[in-house]
């Protein structure tokens, strides 16, 4: 019996059909994977609360997808890796720390890490706080790299190129934003430069006939005003009292300077013995201003120090309700003290 052989044209046709079918199926599979991956990245990640993710420098896209799986944010990385193959621009992730909220879709996460817009942490230095308190805040912040922990206040001052060994008052109280692992020195330097700039601007536009020999003395006065009242509207009038006393060569006699001079010895009350103790900051005993600021003055206190209200007031006392009673003479002041303090 003779063997039958297919003719060459038939073989060619069958081969072409087979290849065409294979190409079609492969193309169909690619299309399906592409469509499925596009659908998958539109789904939200499995996150129950706001979380952070840190991508280290040099992290590959595959390693990044494994991070997401390890965090439990997605079941597997296949669809995400497939999506990146079809959309190469979404594979160019940038290192950094990013905040991811609930219901964030995978595509939104990709857009974020590709943009490189890291989460901005923040720290707030409060008006009236001290330099040491600022250092303590920085030391406690978990997202800051600590370079100042083992330095003394004087060493930090030198590092900031501050002339005084005591850098009190030289930081501007404000909220400062930063990215993960920013150095504490970088933040404190920004606060110092901001205070320098503001002081220079205010000094250049100061009122006439002020009893200050330098911008630094104005900074000292601003810190005292800041500690005397948390009510900004009172700052210009409080400033006028101190300016009037300095012009009359009267002692300032302000409690906040005494408290600062006591340091850790202050336990909440100023005693008669404290007022009699002659320290560099006891303005009941010394003439003029203390040697350094006593706190971080805010913009309003600095403005008030260099633009005091025009008045004849020489005294003031707290009324116990967050405001002060001002007097032009000792008799009225003593009556106010009796009414509002000794009761």
Q: Confidence band (pLDDT; 50, 70, 90) for 39?
A: confident
What is the structure's pLDDT at 94? 95
Query: Tens digit of pLDDT for each residue in 52-71?
Result: 999 999 999 999 999 999 99
> Does the pLDDT of residue 26 top 80, yes or no?
no
> Considering the domain 51-115, what is its CATH architecture?
2-Layer Sandwich (3.30)
Q: Report H helices in 252-328.
A: 255-262, 272-276, 299-306
Q: What is the pLDDT of residue 145?
A: 95
User: Using a CB cutoff of 8 Å and minimum separation of 24, what contacts does 83-86 make?
Assistant: 83/37, 83/38, 83/40, 83/41, 86/34, 86/37, 86/38
Q: How confident is the prediction for the chain on average, in pLDDT?
A: 90
Confidence of residue 28 (pLDDT cuts 50, 70, 90): low
Q: What pLDDT does 274 receive?
A: 87
Judged by phi (left if over 0) then psi (alpha if -120 to 50, else beta), residue 253 lies in: left
* Residue range(s) in the chain whose domain bears CATH number 3.30.1490: 51-115
pLDDT number for residue 21: 64
pTM equals 0.82
Q: For residues 218 and 314, is the Cβ–Cβ distance under 8 A?
A: no
CA distances from 61 to 66, 90, 105, 317 (A): 9, 9, 17, 66
Q: How far is CA 106 from the centre of its chain?
A: 29
Q: Rounded to whole angstroms, how far apart are CA atoms 123 and 325?
A: 35
Considering all CA atoms of the chain, what is the largest pairwise distance in Å, rounded to the nearest integer?
A: 140
From 275, 293, 297, select the one nearest 284 (Cα to Cα): 275
């Amino acid at each position: 019996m003779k063997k039958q052989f297919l003719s060459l044209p038939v073989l060619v046709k069958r081969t072409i059909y087979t290849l065409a079918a294979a190409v079609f199926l492969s193309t169909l599979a690619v299309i399906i994977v592409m469509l499925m991956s596009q659908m998958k990245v539109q789904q939200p990640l499995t996150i129950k609360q706001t979380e952070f993710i840190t991508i280290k420098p040099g992290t590959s896209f595959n390693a990044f997808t494994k991070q997401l799986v390890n965090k439990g944010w997605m079941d597997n990385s296949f669809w995400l890796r497939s999506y990146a193959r079809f959309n190469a621009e979404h594979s160019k992730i940038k290192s950094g720390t990013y905040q991811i909220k609930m219901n964030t879709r995978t595509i939104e996460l990709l857009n974020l890490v590709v943009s490189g817009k890291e989460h901005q942490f923040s720290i707030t230095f409060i008006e009236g706080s001290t330099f040491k308190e600022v250092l303590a805040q920085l030391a406690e912040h978990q997202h800051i790299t600590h370079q100042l922990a083992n330095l003394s206040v004087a060493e930090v001052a030198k590092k900031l190129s501050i002339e005084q060994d005591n850098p009190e008052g030289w930081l501007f109280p404000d909220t400062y934003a930063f990215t993960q692992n920013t150095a504490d020195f970088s933040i404190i330097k920004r606060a110092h430069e901001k205070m320098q700039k503001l002081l220079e601007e205010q000094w250049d536009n100061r009122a006439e006939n002020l009893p200050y020999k330098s911008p630094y003395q104005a900074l000292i006065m601003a810190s005292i005003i800041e500690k005397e009242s948390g009510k900004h509207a009172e700052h210009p009038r409080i400033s006028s009292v101190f300016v009037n006393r300095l012009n009359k060569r009267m002692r300032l006699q302000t409690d906040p300077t005494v408290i600062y001079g006591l340091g850790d010895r202050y336990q909440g009350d100023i005693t008669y013995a404290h007022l009699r103790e002659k320290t560099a900051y006891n303005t009941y005993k010394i003439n003029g201003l203390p040697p350094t600021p006593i706190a971080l003055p805010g913009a309003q206190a600095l403005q008030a120090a260099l633009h005091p209200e025009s008045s004849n007031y020489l005294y003031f006392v707290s009324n116990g309700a967050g405001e002060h009673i001002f007097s032009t003479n000792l008799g009225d002041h003593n009556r106010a003290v009796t009414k509002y303090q000794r009761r």
